[in-house]
Amino acid sequence: MKTNQEWPLWEVFYQPGNGKPFEHAGSVHAPDAEMALQNARDTYARRNEGIAIWVVPSDQITASTPEDVGPFFDPANDKAYRHPQFYSVPRAVKKRK
Amino acid sequence: MSKKITNTKTDKELIIEILLRLADDRLIHGHRLSEWTGHGPELEEDLALANVALDMIGHAAALYRYAAVIEGNPDEDYYAYFRDDIDFKNVAMVELPKGDFAYTITRQFLFSVYSYFLYEKLIETVENEQFNGMLQKHFKEIKYHLRHSREWVLRLGDGTKESHERIQNAFDEIWMYTGELFSMDETEHTAIEKNLFVDVSELKAPWLEFVKETLEEATLSLPDDDQYMFTGSRQGRHTEHLGHLLAQMQFLRRSYPDADWK
């Protein structure tokens, strides 16, 4: 019987520029971390997409489930004061943006 | 009977010859790597091999373009598609059939270590700005090719019994084609005087040291360096494999000279 011989899965994140947050690009198969990094480079960084790459074993990611949607995200909907648009921004700060 | 070889090449012919030697190595190697497209052991490795192939063909294209400008030839594709095997100046190592994955990786590794030391030295030496600029640009990609192939040598060597055997066989088989990388001829000696090339025989020691260290780490044995070495490719005396490769690579362009992408 054929056993599953696929390499482990890795999630790939890339940083589009200096100081920018890392973004999820996709995933690759690789036997270990160094090869995951190289495969990520060859799969997702061929067109000048970024300046840094992270690879993380997919099984190390803990994810919320669809059932968590309510408890996790609903409370945000009725607390508009959590959004900053009600505060007037001083002109000097605006200019510096 | 001895015959005095005199170099009668003009400066223009000399730089073109040097550019073509570098370019031919990269075009033919790139073509061999491109044969893996769709046949890689894993999707990711398929992409990696195709990337390296594209890099090398890109290096060749830039070198051909510059040679064409110097020669006043309007079409750099001429060098790739309309020369015969005797005109190609690549080393035999790069024209050998792609073999199995271990064989391809071994060749890539041995050639990348050589390219690394060659380009490092050329960048220090070459005074022609345009030529030097190209070398610097390509050097970054060569470093990646070296890293990728070296990591695979370690994994295949220190992997399973089968991967170890396959890559050890590959090193043993390809070794006789490594001598050519470090042999010098009249053209190269003259090119050195003009700061267009470097003494490749001096690259042998650092190359061997690097290969030796990697093989030790990969639990592989260094092939016997004191063995028969293939020579003559730089002068156009190739193995039978180059003709077959060119037949495939050049067929379309020669049969349909007016074909274009439109």
CATH class, domain A9-96, is: alpha beta
d(CA B94, CA B30): 9
**Sign (positive or negative) of CA dihedral A58, A62, A67, A72:** negative
Q: Tell me, what's the pLDDT at A49?
A: 77
Q: How many CA atoms lie within 13 A of B186 on its CB side?
A: 7
Q: For residues B3 and B153, which has the higher predicted lDDT (pLDDT)? A: B153
What does the DSSP assignment read for chain B?
----------HHHHHHHHHHHHHHHHHHHHHHHHTTTTT-SSHHHHHHHHHHHHHHHHHHHHHHHHHHHHHT-S-THHHHHS--GGG----GGGGS---SHHHHHHHHHHHHHHHHHHHHHHHHH---HHHHHHHHHHHHHHHHHHHHHHHHHHHHHTS-HHHHHHHHHHHHHHGGGSGGGG---HHHHHHHHTTS---GGGGHHHHHHHHHHHHHHTT-PPPPSSS-----GGGT---HHHHHHHHHHHHHHHH-TT----
Q: Give the tokens for residue B32.
A: 């061999």
Q: Do A29 and B51 touch (CB under 8 A)?
A: no
pLDDT tens per residue, range B220-251: 999 999 999 999 999 999 999 999 999 999 99
Closest Cβ opposite residue A43 in set B44, B148, B155 = B44
CB within 8 Å: B148 and A39: no
With contacts defined as CB-CB under 8 Å, which chain B residues touch A30?
44
* Token representation of residue A57: 């074993």
Give the pTM. Answer: 0.87
Q: Where are the domains of chain A?
A: 9-96
- In Å, how far is A38's CA from the nearest CA of chain B? 7
- Phi then psi for residue A50, to 5 deg, are -165, -170
**B51 within 8 A of A46, measured Cβ to Cβ:** yes
- Partner residue facing A29 (CB), from B44, B51, B155: B44
User: What average pLDDT score do residues B12-20 get?
Assistant: 95
Tens digit of each residue's pLDDT (9 = 90 or more) over B94-112 = 999 999 999 999 999 999 9
Identify the pLDDT of residue B6.
Answer: 56
Dihedral pair phi/psi, residue A5, rounded to 5°: -105, 15
For residue B51, which residues of chain A lie inside 8 Å, CB to CB? 42, 46
pLDDT tens, residue by residue, B163-217: 999 999 999 999 999 999 999 999 999 999 999 999 999 999 999 999 999 999 9
Q: How far is B147 from chain A (nearest CA, A)?
A: 9
Neighbours of A41 (CB within 10 A): 21
Please indicate if any CB of chain A lies within 8 Å of the CB of B163. Answer: no
pLDDT tens, position by position, B115-152: 999 999 999 999 999 999 999 999 999 999 999 999 99
The span from the CA of B15 to the CA of B9, in Å, is 10
- The ipTM of this complex is 0.76
Please report the pLDDT score of residue B245 as a whole number: 97
Give pLDDT tens digits for A54-89: 999 999 999 999 888 888 877 766 777 777 777 777
All structural domains of chain B, each given as residue ranges with its CATH number in brackets, are 11-255 (1.20.1260.10)
Mean pLDDT across B66-90: 94
Q: What is the dihedral of CA B220, B225, B226, B229, to 10 degrees?
A: 120
DSSP A94: H
Q: Under a CB-based contact definition with an 8 Å cutoff, are residues A23 and A14 in contact?
A: yes
- Residue A3, pLDDT score: 58
